Structure 1
Amino acid sequence: MDCPDGELSLLIIDNLQITELNQKYLNREGPANVIAFPMRGGDYPEIAPQLLGDVVISAEKAADEGSLFNISMEERFMQLMVHGILHLFGYDHEKSDKEALIMEQKSEELLKILRELS
């Protein structure tokens, strides 16, 4: 991602906690699997340009979706983490089908790298 000094926080919580964040900040009902809070696009990105933002993942949702998709919880967690990090860099699958495809391709590229490292 060409951001060697970038910093982010990763918060792992349960469905109840992510439901509260989803409602409060995105005005959406129910538990999300991952929520990203980018810092670079705010009003004052120059204050700490190395801060990318926060990625919040529901461990419960990752486990449930792992079972649903017939993959390990760890694999699903890694997918959600990459997804959240891509949002911190401005990728947005909700803008258009084209943007969704671009985000999916970048996600697969990064997941391949991570799998090779493990």
Structure 2
Amino acid sequence: MSAATIELDVDPVWGQDTDWEARCAAAARAVAHVLPELAHSEILVSVVMGEDEEVHALNQEWRAKDKPTNVLSFPMIAREELLRAAERPGAPVMLGDIIMAHGVCRREAEEKQVALADHATHLLIHGLLHLAGFDHEDGDEEAEAMEALEIRALAALGIDDPYADRDL
């Protein structure tokens, strides 16, 4: 299955023990599996796996939140434009940018007792869904729909449901 092309920039703090390029490509294929509108090689996504300070500055500038967060997504097109582009593939479509904070991701992975690579893959899938027009801050129904897509994409990669321990 075709998937978005990922342009990846990995800060050395993320380490050399994981093939982040392969992880990003696998995440893009998994999302394309659950969202056919992303199953086009003409879709481009920029991913920066950076440090907390970088994400903190972006979070403060763009979201007025004075702290780092695990992942930020900056969509370049609206969901309606993405759906129109999927109907007539051809010219490249820049979907947007994803920036991840190593320290926050590492701490969360440790707290959840999961591998950093699996947690980062979850957050990348989460970010890709944001770029595709999904949100979890607009209400419970939207959050549940987004989580369901995340769970399906992660399952395609053999990664456990990150929400399995939540209170229902």
Q: Same fold (TM over 0.5)?
A: yes
- Partner Cα separation in structure 2 for residue 18 and residue 80 of structure 1: 14
Cα displacement (A) at 1:115? 2.6
Residue 123 (structure 2) pairs with residue 80 (structure 1): yes
Residue in 2 aligned with 1:36? 73
- Partner Cα separation in structure 1 for residue 100 and residue 157 of structure 2: 18
- Partner Cα separation in structure 2 for residue 36 and residue 115 of structure 1: 24
Any gaps of 5 or more consecutive residues in structure 1? none
Residue 103 (structure 2) pairs with residue 60 (structure 1): yes
Give the TM-score normalised by the residue count of structure 2: 0.63
Q: Is the 8 A contact 1:40 1:49 kept in 2?
A: no
Residue in 1 aligned with 2:93? 50
Cα displacement (A) at 1:14? 0.7
Cα displacement (A) at 1:62? 1.1
Any gaps of 5 or more consecutive residues in structure 2? 1-34, 86-90, 160-168
Q: Secondary structure at the match of 1:115?
A: coil
Residue in 2 aligned with 1:89? 132
- Partner Cα separation in structure 2 for residue 114 and residue 61 of structure 1: 23
Runs of 4+ in structure 1 over 6 Å off: none
Cα displacement (A) at 1:49? 5.9
Give the TM-score normalised by the residue count of structure 1: 0.88
Q: Secondary structure at the match of 1:57?
A: strand
Q: Secondary structure at the match of 2:56?
A: helix
Cα displacement (A) at 1:60? 1.4
- Partner Cα separation in structure 2 for residue 90 and residue 114 of structure 1: 22
Out of 1, 19, 26, the residue aligned to residue 63 of structure 2 is: 26
Q: Which has the larger radius of gyration?
A: 2
Q: Secondary structure at the match of 2:72?
A: strand
Cα displacement (A) at 1:41? 2.3
Residue in 1 aligned with 2:151? 108
- Partner Cα separation in structure 2 for residue 38 and residue 114 of structure 1: 24
Q: Secondary structure at the match of 1:66?
A: helix
